[in-house]
Every structure is written in C-alpha cells, then in structure tokens.
Amino acid sequence: MPITFLSNIQNSFIIDTFFTCYFSIRALKLLEVSDERLAAGVSGNLHLEEAFLYVLEQFRKTYVCEHIQKISLVYEVLKKNLGLQDENALLTVFVRKIITNLKFWWREERLFDATLALLNELSLGYSAARRIISLPDIQLLLNNHTGECFEFLSSIADLNAMHSRTMFYVSITRLMCVDFNDDESTFLSFMQPLSDNVRQICDVFAMSTTGVDQEQVKRAVIGLCRDIRGIAIACHMKSVYSMLFDWLYPNVFNIMLRSVELWADCSTVMSAVLKLLVELCQNRQQRLQFEMSSCSAVLLFREASKIICSFGERLLALPEVAPENAYKERYKHIASCFSALKMSLSGGYVPFGVFRLYGDTCLQEALSTFMKLFMAIPSQDFHSYQKVTQSFYSLLECVAFDNIAYLSNVQPELFITILKYIQEGAVSLDGPVVNASCATLDILLNYLYRRITQNTHPRVHVGSEPEGEECIRALEAHPTVLSETLVVMLDALLFDEVKCRWSMSRPLLGLILLQESAFQQWKMELIAQYPQEKRASFEEAFTGLMDGVDRNLSVRNKDIFTQNLVLFRKRMYEVIRGTSTPVIQPVQSTSDMMS
C-alpha cells in the first residue's frame, strides 16, 4: 500500500510536469513569433504580452528560483522541442523578452512595470544573477543603456515612464556589481551614458537660457536624477558607493543645486532632485563610512546643506497654493528635506564638530532652514500628512540628541511651539511619531532638569554651539507648558489605549520632578472624583508609583519608575473596577489646575 501511494504521487508529479512543459513550449513558441513581428514593425497584442510575462514569472518561480532543485525532465523536454540546452539557454529567453519589452512596450505602464519586476527578481537571485551576467544580451544592455537604444531613457519619454527608470537602474546596477571586483574601469564604462547626459546638462546650464527649451531640460534633469537614484540604491557596498560619489562630485551636485534655484516651483523636478538627495545621504549598510583620509562625508553634507537651504529659501518666497495642491507642491518636498537632513544627522558618518571649528556654518544654516520650513506648515495641516509628521519628529529627535545647544538658542516662541508639537506627537495614534516625540521630550527634559535644578552655567564644548538661555526664558514666559504636557500624558496613559507605554514613561519622570505641584494637584483632583472609601487605595497606588525613585533622571532611576508605572496602572484599574463610577474624568485643563 505505501508503495502504491508513493507511485501515485510520482505519477501525479510527472503528469503535472508534462502539462507544464506542454503549455510552456507552446507559450514560448508563440512568444518568439510575437517578438519577431514586433521587430518587423507589426503591432502586438497587449493582453497576450501580459500573458507571456505571467508564464515566464510562474516558470521562474518553479524552475529558476533560488533553492529549487532543477528537474531534468523539464529541461529534457525543452531541449527536444525548443533547442534550449540548459538553464542558461532558458535565461536567455527571459532576458531577450525583457529587452524586447523595454524597447517596444515602454508606453504601456502596467506591462512595463511587470517587465521591470521580472528583471528585478532575476537580479536578486544569487545563482540566476551570476548566470545572467555572463549572457551576451545582458552585457549589451549594461553597455548600451542609452536613449538611442531605449526610448524610455530619453528625454522624450513621458513622466510616467520616467518613474520606472529608478527600478530599471536598481536592477542593472545590481547585475553590474555581481562580478564587479572593485574595477573602476568597469564602473566608469557602465556610467558612460549618464556621464554624457551630465555633460550635456552642464553645457546647457552654462549657456544663456535664451533659446533653450526649458521643458526639455527639466525632463533631462528628472531622468538623470531618477537614474542616479536607482544606481545609488543598488550601491550598498562602500567601495562602489565611493566610486559613485567621486563620479557625482561636483557636477551632479551642481546640477541639483542649479535645478533648485531655477525650478523650485516645479513639483516634478523637485521631487526627483530631493528624492535623490535623500538616497545619497542614507548610510545603507555603512556604505558612507569613508576612509579616514577621505573628505567625502564632509563634502556630501555641505552639498546637501546647500541644496536644502537653497530650496527652503525659494520655497518660502513662493506664493501660497490651493489647499488641495499643498501637499503635492509644498509639504511633500519639505518632508524630503527633513528626511535628507535626518539621514545626515543620524548616519554617523559626518564629523559635525569640524564645521564650527573651521568656521563653516553649513550645519547651522541647515538647522535654521529646518525650523523655517517647519513653521511654514500650518498647524491645521501638519498632522494631516503622515510622511510630514514622521519625518519632522524623527529629525527633531536627531537634532535634540546631537544639537541640544542649538535648540537652547532658538527664539522663546519657537521653543514653546516645538514643545506644544511634541505634546501633540506624544499622544498621537502613530507609533513612530509617539516614539520620536517621547524620545525628544526625554532629551529636552534631561537638559532642562540639569539647567534648572543645578543652576549651572551654560556649557561650552569645543566645536559645538554654546548653550543659550532662550529655552529658560521661554519656560519662564510660559510656565504652564510643561504642566499641560504632564497632564495630557498622564491622562493618555491612564484613560486611553496607548501603544507605546514604555516610550511615554521615559519623559514622564522628568515632567513629575519639574512640575511636582502640578502633579500633586492632578492627583488630588483625580482622587476627589471617587467615593471616600476608595481614596485610600488611590493614595496607596500613587505612593507605589514613586517607590524607590530618587530625585534624578538617570537611566536606572527611569527604569525603576517605568516598572512602578506598570504596577500603578494595574492598581488603578483594579480600584476603578470596584467603583460605581463608570469612567474616570480626566483633568480638563491646566488653567483650572494651576489656579
């Protein structure tokens, strides 16, 4: 019986393989005929082409994918009927179909994207990529990715097709790196088509704008930025990225800066330029850890600062746009600037101390632009766009962590505005925003607690901006801002289903120590809402909250407070469940609390 069962499985497998081969052979024969007609100038059938790609993708998943044992029966049938000797011959069919679609079907977005997705999958597989790179068709593609060979790479292509150029260059750059071996000549040969484009754009910018087709130049810049972004995404090795940066500097950065100066009001150009800047500043797999003798990291940040500051200056001078277009034409680009600056500050590859040491103000200018762009977003719009809020709060956390002295010197009204936005972020429904807001608040409270309780003079560190008094003046002018934050966070922790309790617990101790009277007032008003027989239990819970907690903001002390807070919430809920009052009423306003 077991032998019969095994035999049935084998028979079923052979039958499935037979039908797979049968249909694949017919599809591949029809594919060959269709491609010959396309090459002869006869229009093809879009639905049939989509079916071809579906067959190739399913065949790839079954017989070409990584970690799948090759089935000799399939290749025997393919050899007998199509003359495909081995997997390399089959991959040649895949590659030729991809190249054919890139040439003839680039105007059909769905088919074009599916073709690029297939190319991307083939470039991701280790064994498939190593086989593909040796094929003559792929070598031809790597050496001839020009607008003359592929129209979607030319400046006449529409903007929808240009969106796909990034993925195209991610895939072919990944293939180029398979047998790269840090050969600079191979890299420069691969980059030659883009080098020609860079030279042409630089020549146009050097000329008078009279008689120049501005739209054509814009398309050229958009295409170039999208192409380079795809290459940068695939350059995750330090050696390759170093070659890329040497190729970029200074001409490509000059093109980006000049584009910002000329077309800050053009959303499509700014989107391409700023997305490229974000990618260049991202330290993927420590690729930006340049050699100690290299100044590339400093140069990269200086160029990024120039572009961000130039864009910010021109954006703020532009007239207002309709509310329905505000995100596309303004806020999206502001978020990209925030992301690029955040990548630079958190990447760990720029020695920021050298800028002030040698009188370079690029860091201060970039931070000032950050604050100006932040204030340019109306408060009613700020939390409506997730990308804007997440990029802002993550950047603010980086600024607070490494440049707290800068925040201590901002104008009092701006400092209070930042604290109010942090308060809103701390009780947001967006997890990353809550984490970043609470981390920023924790850093600020550590700093303020030291300044207020220890009466120390502002510190001065070599290479860093001196600490200022503006933050202290801001709190003196707005004494309720911290108490309001304390009440809002306590109410959220006790009465709402918050997701990031640990993050919210970290700054809470600092708020309690800095606003003890406000905390006691909140506590008394809360307890007063309940019957007399429950108040002793509440008092016990509050006593346990501060049990073993010292009057400092050390990490160990915060850990103890966080543990106590977990038990505090549990005890409070136990007391609440035993009362007839259905809901605890949170303290409504700090003005009542402080009166």
Q: Is a pLDDT exceeding 70 seen at residue 262?
A: yes
CB 259 within 8 A of CB 221: yes
Instruction: Say if residue 594's pLDDT is above 80.
Output: no
Q: How far is CA 413 from CA 375, 419, 475, in A?
A: 11, 10, 10
Q: What pLDDT, on a 0 to 100 scale, did the predictor assign at position 65?
A: 61
Give exposure, 398-422, as e/b (b: 16+ Cβ within 10 Å): bbbeebbbbbbbbebebbbbbbebb
The answer to whether the beta carbons of residues 419 and 489 sit under 8 Å apart is no
Q: How many CB atoms lie within 10 A of CB 101?
A: 24
User: 439 with 380: CB under 8 angstroms?
Assistant: no
Check whether 583 has a pLDDT greater than 50: no
Structure tokens at 135: 């094929």
pLDDT band for position 79 (50/70/90)? confident
Query: Which one, of 579, 541, 580, 545, lies nearest residue 560 by Cα?
Result: 545
DSSP 243-284: HHHHHHTTHHHHHHHHHHHHHTT-HHHHHHHHHHHHHHH--G
Q: What's the rounded mean pLDDT across residues 325-343?
A: 96
What's the pLDDT score for residue 590? 40
Distance CA(147)–CA(149), nearest Å, equals: 5
pLDDT of res. 587: 47
Q: Which structural domain, as residue segments, surrounds residue 82? A: 9-143
Asked if residue 485 belongs to a domain, the reply is no
340 pLDDT above the threshold of 70: yes
pLDDT higher than threshold 50 for residue 218? yes
Supply 318's token pair.
């532009």
- Segment of 17-26, 56-65, 324-333 carrying the highest mean pLDDT: 324-333
At 304 the pLDDT is 98
Asked whether residue 112 is assigned to any structural domain, the reply reads yes
What's the token pair of residue 515?
């606003």
Helix (H, G, I), strand (E, B) or coil at 118: helix
Nearest to 282 by CA among 244, 318, 316, 310: 244
Q: What percent of the chain has pLDDT over 70?
A: 90
Under 8 Å between Cβ of 355 and 319: no
Kindly give, in sequence order, each residue whose CB lies less than 8 Å from that of residue 553, ignoring residues fewer than 6 positions away: 445, 446, 449, 509, 510, 513
Contact yes or no for 278/339 (Cβ under 8 A) = yes
Q: Which two tokens stand for residue 66?
A: 């990584």
Mean pLDDT of the chain: 88
Count of beta carbons in the 10 Å neighbourhood of residue 579: 14
The answer to whether residue 232 scores a pLDDT higher than 50 is: yes
Query: Does residue 61 form part of some domain?
Result: yes
Q: What is the pLDDT of residue 13?
A: 46
Mean pLDDT value across residues 356-373: 94
How confident is the model at residue 311, as a pLDDT? 98
Q: Are 588 and 550 in contact (CB under 8 A)?
A: no
The DSSP code sequence of 420-450 is: HHHHHHHT-S-HHHHHHHHHHHHHHHHHHHH
Distance CA 333, CA 387 (A): 10
pLDDT score for 347: 93
Task: Give tens-digit pLDDT for 61-78.
Answer: 877 765 455 555 676 777
pLDDT of residue 83: 75
3 vs 258: which has the higher pLDDT: 258
The answer to whether position 137 is within a domain reads yes
E strand or H helix that includes residue 296: helix 296-317
Tens of pLDDT, residue by residue over 201-213, are 999 998 866 667 8
CA dihedral 206, 207, 213, 218 (to 10 degrees): 10
Better pLDDT: 178 or 583: 178
Mean pLDDT for the stretch of residues 283-287 = 93
Share of the chain above pLDDT 90, in %: 67
Residue with more model confidence, 81 or 326: 326
**pLDDT above 70 (res 16):** no
DSSP 130-171: HHHTTSHHHHHHHH--STTT-GGGSTTS-HHHHHTHHHHHHH
pLDDT tens string 110-133: 999 999 999 999 998 777 888 899
Least confident of 172-186, 396-410, 458-472: 458-472
Within-domain flag for 48: yes
The pLDDT value recorded for residue 211 is 67
Residues with Cβ within 8 Å of 328's Cβ and at least 6 positions away in sequence, in order, are 267
- For the stretch 481-503, pLDDT in tens is 999 999 999 999 888 887 788 99
80: pLDDT strictly greater than 80: no
How many domains does the chain fold into?
A: 1
Amino acid at 462: V
- Give the C-alpha separation, 265 to 95, whole Å: 41
- pLDDT interval class at 464 (50, 70, 90): confident
Counting every residue written for the chain, the total comes to 595
In a domain, 56, yes or no: yes
Q: Is 145 within 8 Å of 172 (Cβ atoms)?
A: yes
> Which residues, in sequence order, are CB contacts of 57 under 8 Å at separation 6+?
114, 118, 121
- DSSP letter (8 states) at residue 462: T
Asked if residue 21 belongs to a domain, the reply is yes
Given the structure tokens 């720029």, which residue do they identify?
350
pTM higher than the cut 0.85: yes
**Contacting residues for 532 by C-beta, under 8 A, at least 6 apart:** none
Range of lowest pLDDT (73-77, 113-117, 170-174, 406-410): 73-77
pLDDT digits (tens, 9 = 90+) for 418-427: 999 999 999 9
Instruction: Indicate whether 438 pLDDT > 70.
Output: yes
Asked whether the CA dihedral 208, 213, 218, 224 is positive or negative, the reply is: negative
Does residue 206 come out as left (phi exceeding 0), alpha (psi in the -120 to 50 range) or beta? alpha
Annotate 354-387 with b (16+ C-beta within 10 A) or e (fewer): ebbeeebebbbbbbebbbebbeebeeeebbebee
* DSSP structure class, residue 12: H
Residue 24, in any domain of the structure: yes
10 Å CB burial of residue 525 (0-12, 13-18, 19+) is middle
